[in-house]
A and B are shown apart, each in its own frame.
With several copies, the nearest count.
Chain A
Amino acid sequence: MKRFTQMEYKDPDELLFGHAKYPISIGNDTEIGAGHVIPEINVAPGEGTEESKEKMVSECRNITRSASDRAVNIGLPAFILEQEHISQQTNNPDWTAECTQAQVEVLEKYHDEYGIKTGLRATPADIRDEEKDSGFWSSDLFNRVIESIEASAENGAAIVSIETTGGKSVSDYGISRGDPKAILFGIGVLGSMDMEYMWEKIVPICKKHNTIPGGDTDCSQSNTAMFLAGGLLDKDCSHTLTALARAMGAARSLVAVECGAQGPLKDCGYENPIVKAISGVPISTEGKNAVCAHSDLMGNLMASVTDMWSNESVYHREEMGGTTPEVWLQATGYEAALMNTAIETGEGKTLRDLYTLTDKYRDPQALILAYDNAYRIGEAIVKNGDDPYLRARAAAIEAGAIINEAVDSKKMYLTRFERDSLDSALKVLKKLPTESDKFTKDCIRKYSRKVPDFDPKNYEL
């Protein structure tokens, strides 16, 4: 595995939605990152559909039909359907196989009939459990995940992704207690190790079946921090600390790419702009059209350098305007259309900058993901590219510096809580050892005791 020690983009200004340095082609005439933005729709299977394989297959097929139908009715040139698996699907790889098959069949039909460019992203669930299954890397549950990935690839998914959960117990502990060391260990060390372990297995399977290994996300960690951080008036997690966690998440999500993932990285990876700046792979992101799933403070900014624009997730049910696969594909589809118009007219960079500036100083979490700052964090990562721990630490410290500079220039305003937690986090982070081994040993000692679910054996430590 080759670590990134240089930026694939040489200038942040080269970053633009719809354009990735290394676009991918997924069949059905569909390319991602090759000059246009593609909407992505993701609908959560309704309650009860988990009861049998038949119900789940039918649910998956129906979601696909509804989305396809709306797509042609409003004239979308292209769209991607993502299916995030529920645990039963991954637990039973035959469910995965049949669901995937059913969805691919519908998409093919629409492609043949209308010429619409489509493809399926299948995302098996990470059903491994740190608590239950001491063989985190070799258990039955692990095997089921791998089989499910193979079943997705084998049955026609254009892209396969996963949201790995390595290190979550430790980072959860750190996020709820405002402990930057635990967060760094959970994301930068354990998370990166787990992602490497998983993706070294996933990429060859995808290659074998001519499927695109799409990539991963730090969802289980940085997004937990973001969800807890909540809105401006929420009191659960400091938004500055959350910003540092996000920067670490970039160092982690990059690992999948280093193992051969080609993108589009998963929509919920808010760290994706950083990963794109480093690696040049296309990314999926979400923001203002994912309000169905959660509230973020960077709804426009997240579109700035996206290649696929997603709604994250939505209940499968009926709105006045149609069923949710219809309604939410229309929402992401219309935003993608705006971006594509900007690209076509040569005004892409203007729109990109407007997206960015709409949120840049709304919150520290947004600030560090503005493409110029994302690039800076990328640079901090590649400078320490060979060492997952050091690069995650460097990313966080750089994010802190970015926030502090914006505060100094009176563009970013912080509350006392944000100010204090940033200062204390930076103090802690800067004092940490510069050797990965030392840090790891230290953390194993500390968090094995404090975090009941954390078992170093799970990571062969």
Chain B
Amino acid sequence: MSYKDLEDKIDQRNVYLRYNVELEGPAIKPEEDEEVAKILPNDEPFRSIALTILNENRDEAITIVKKALDDGISPLDIINEGLMKGMDAVSLLYTKGIYFLPDLMLSGDAMMESVKECEAVLGHKSDSKATVVSFVAEGDPHDIGKNLILMFLRAGGYEAIDMGRDVPASDVVEAVKKYHPIFLTGTALMTTTMTAFPKVVKALEDADLEVPAIGCGGGAVRKDFVESFPMSVYGVEAYHTPKLADAILNDKKDWKDLRKEYSDVVGGFVSEYS
């Protein structure tokens, strides 16, 4: 029988179901989501600023922020009451499965550039929750995972230091000395580069340094390997990173706690931790 004839005979639902389509709820505007509504500020210009972030509108964000600065609004207020609130809403929508990664990245870009405008007026960097240092394992040239982590961390209010790809352990040690991060993240694509992680831990120990945790993840990295040396926690998804950082910052968790409480910390079932 011809391909076309065969195709027409199939009831697709007996072979596969597109659950993403099946389950889709009605479309709503992001700002109408109940939880988002609670996060968004009511006063202007903060509401408009937050909305430009929510709408991923970089150009308009910068325009409104500049105008607000011209109007003498405190740059710190713009950041904390406007930009960050917008970003919180974006993160929330991502977690709820309403927003997608590109939304988050574009909102993040808009926020970061708007923050820069504020800092120009402020004359120095604005405060972040804390500092996190991110690197790609030595020998590994793949960095999209690290780049996503950076964006998630920044969207979560962290100062995220980008050490780039193929980073030797000694450079990580220097970065820890310089930035005193509350959290390190390392990514690797291959089994034969993930071996860089225990070397980093060793180098830190040799330098008498300690961090609450080093999140290790990416490509072929396995939990059982990551848990075979200390100071480390296996990271499953890039968007888990700020949640892990929050747990360290707010609840004083360390790598031992995070290994045990990973699913709770990131808020949901994680197959790799089961």
Indicate if the CB atoms of B27 and A47 lie closer than 8 Å.
Answer: no
Given contacts A44-B220, A237-B101, A340-B14, contact A165 B141 (CB under 8 A): yes
Instruction: Give the residue name and chain of the A residue nearest to B10 (CB).
Output: A344
Contacts A228-B101, A344-B15 given: A318-B220 contact, CB under 8 Å? no
Residue A139 lies at the interface, judged by CB distance under 8 Å to chain B = no
Asked if A315 meets B220 with Cβ closer than 8 Å, knowing A88-B139, A325-B271, A357-B10, the reply is yes
Residue on B with the closest CB to A66? Answer: B271
- Contact status A132-B166, CB under 8 Å: yes
Q: Are B12 and A416 in contact (CB under 8 A)?
A: no
Partner of A87, one of B139, B151, B219: B139
Given contacts A344-B10, A346-B9, contact A127 B1 (CB under 8 A): no
Interface string of B116-152 (1 = CB under 8 A from A): 0000000000000000000000011101100110010
Closest to B18 in A: A413
Q: Are A347 and B274 in contact (CB under 8 A)?
A: no
Assess the A322–B105 pair: CB atoms within 8 A. no
Q: Which of B5-35 contact A (CB under 8 A)?
A: 6-7, 9-24, 27
A75 to B17, CA, bound (A): 5
**Among B20, B27, B139, B193: residue with most chain A CB under 10 A:** B20
> Does A76 have its Cβ within 8 Å of any Cβ on chain B?
yes
How many residues of B are in contact with the other chain, CB < 8 A? Answer: 57
Are A372 and B144 touching (Cβ within 8 A)? Answer: no
Interface residues contributed by chain A, number (CB under 8 Å) = 89
Q: Which residues of B contact A232 (CB under 8 A)?
A: 18-20
- Contacts A77-B16, A372-B3, A414-B21 hold; do A131 and B139 have CB atoms under 8 A apart? no
**A357–B16 CA distance with the chains assembled, in angstroms:** 11
Verify A69–B271 contact, CB threshold 8 A. Answer: yes
User: Closest residue to A89 on the B side, CB-wise?
Assistant: B192
Q: Which residue of B lies closest to A313 (CB)?
A: B220
Stretch with Cβ within 8 A of B (4 or more), from A153-161, A205-213, A246-254, A359-367: A359-367
Contact A177 B97 (CB under 8 A): no
Q: Which residues of chain B have C-beta atoms less than 8 A from A313's C-beta? A: 220
Q: Contact mask A143-181 → B, CB, 8 Å, 1/0?
A: 000000000000000000000010000001001111100
Residue numbers in B under 8 Å from A132 (CB-CB): 165-166
Are A416 and B27 in contact, with the CB atoms below 8 A?
Answer: yes
A388 on the B face (CB < 8 A): no
B76 within 8 A of A: no
Contact of B194 with A by CB under 8 A? yes
- Closest chain-B Cβ to A262's Cβ sits at a distance in Å of 23
CB distance from B114 to the nearest CB of A (A): 16
CA distance A73 to B97 in the complex (A): 14
Contact of B16 with A362 in the complex, beta carbons under 8 Å: yes
Q: How far is the CB of B145 from chain A (nearest CB, A)?
A: 10
List of A residues within 8 angstroms of B271 by Cβ: 62, 65-66, 69, 322-323, 325-326
Within 8 A of B (CB), among A69-126: 69, 72-77, 86-88, 113-116, 126
Q: Does B272 contact A (CB under 8 A)?
A: yes
Q: Are A47 and B16 in contact (CB under 8 A)?
A: no
A228 vs B237: C-alpha distance when bound (angstroms):
11
| Distance between Cα atoms of A320 and B139 in the complex (Å) | 19
Mask for B143-167, Cβ within 8 A of A = 1, else 0? Answer: 1100110010000000000001110
Task: Tell me which of B10, B102, B166, B195 contacts A176 (CB under 8 A).
Answer: B102
Q: Are A238 and B102 in contact (CB under 8 A)?
A: yes
Closest to A45 in B: B192
Within 8 A of B (CB), among A292-330: 313, 315, 317-318, 320, 322-323, 325-326
Q: Please tell me if B179 contacts chain A, counting CB pairs below 8 Å.
A: no
Assess the B274–A63 pair: CB atoms within 8 A.
Answer: yes
Give complex CA distance A358, B15 in Å.
7
Per-residue contact bits, chain A 384-423, to B (CB 8 Å; 1 contact, 0 not):
0000000000000000000000000001011111000100
Whether A177 touches B105, Cβ cut-off 8 Å, given contacts A114-B23, A326-B271, is yes
**A323 and B17 form a contact (CB under 8 A):** no
Judged by a CB distance under 8 angstroms, whether B42 is at the interface is no
Per-residue 0/1 for B56-79: is the Cβ within 8 Å of any A Cβ (1 yes, 0 no)? 000000000000000000000000
A165 to B143, CA, bound (A): 12
Question: Which residues of B are found within 8 Å of A116, using beta-carbon distances?
Answer: 17, 19
A233 within 8 A of B: yes
Residues of chain B in range 85-111 having any CB-CB distance to chain A below 8 Å: 94, 97, 99-102, 105-106, 109
A318 interface neighbour in B94, B191, B272, Cβ under 8 Å: B272
Is A36 part of the binding interface, using a Cβ–Cβ cutoff of 8 Å? yes
* Other-chain contact of A317, B165, B195, B224 (Cβ < 8 Å): B224
Residues of B with C-beta under 8 A to A66: 271, 274
Taking a contact as CB atoms under 8 Å apart, the answer to whether B191 and A47 are in contact is: yes
Which chain A residue has the least Cβ–Cβ distance from B101? A236
Report the separation of the CA atoms of residues A93 and B132 in the bound assembly, to the nearest whole angstrom.
37
Contacts of B195 in A (CB 8 A): 47-48, 50-51
- Name the A residues within 8 Å of B20 (CB-CB): 232-233, 415
Question: Are A361 and B12 touching (Cβ within 8 A)?
Answer: yes
Mark each residue of chain A from 346 to 360: 1 if its CB lies under 8 Å from any CB of chain B, else 0.
110010011011111
Most chain B CB within 10 A, of A116, A337, A415, is at: A415
Whether, in the assembled complex, B253 has its beta carbon less than 8 Å from a beta carbon of chain A, the answer is no
Decide: A224 near B141, CB < 8 A? Known: A353-B6, A357-B6: no
Given contacts A131-B165, A344-B14, A361-B12, contact A72 B19 (CB under 8 A): yes
Q: A48-B195, A87-B193, A127-B141 are in contact. Are A36 and B14 (CB under 8 A)?
A: yes
Residues in B with CB closer than 8 Å to A179 are 102
Q: Is A5 an interface residue (CB 8 A)?
A: no
Residue in A65, A69, A322, A345 whose beta carbon sits within 8 Å of that of B6 in the complex: A345
Contact B15 A235 (CB under 8 A): no
Q: Counting CB contacts under 8 A, is B39 at the interface?
A: no
Q: Say whether A236 contacts B100, CB under 8 Å.
A: yes
Task: Kindly report which residue of chain B lies nearest to residue A360, judged by CB atoms.
Answer: B7
Question: Is A134 at the interface (CB under 8 A from chain B)?
Answer: no
Check if A86 sits within 8 Å of B10, measured CB to CB. Answer: no
Q: Assess whether B259 is interfacial by the CB under 8 Å rule.
A: no
* CA distance in complex: A233, B222 (Å): 23
Closest 5 pairs between A and B when the two form their complex, measured CB to CB? A62-B274, A178-B102, A75-B16, A50-B192, A66-B271
Given A77-B15, A165-B141, A337-B16, 8 other A-B contacts at CB below 8 A? A44-B191, A66-B271, A176-B148, A177-B109, A224-B144, A235-B97, A315-B220, A341-B10
Q: Can you offer 13 A-B residue contacts whose CB atoms are under 8 A?
A: A65-B271, A87-B141, A115-B22, A131-B164, A165-B141, A178-B100, A178-B106, A224-B144, A233-B19, A315-B220, A317-B224, A353-B6, A358-B16
